[in-house]
Amino acid sequence: MASVKQVQVTFDCAEPERVARFWCEVLGYVVPPPPDEFQTWDDYNRSLPPEKQDSAFACVDPTGVGPRLYFQRVPEGKVVKNRVHLDVRVGTGLVGEERVAALEAECARLVALGAVRQRLMLADEENESCLVMQDVEGNEFCLD
Whether the predicted pLDDT of 1 surpasses 70: no
CA angle 123/126/130 to nearest 5° reads 35
Give residue 2's pLDDT band: very low, low, confident or very high (50, 70, 90).
low
> pTM, whole model, 2 decimals?
0.89
CB 10 within 8 A of CB 19: no
Give residue 81's pLDDT band: very low, low, confident or very high (50, 70, 90).
confident
Q: What mean pLDDT comes out for the span 80-87? A: 86
Q: What mean pLDDT comes out for the span 104-121? A: 97
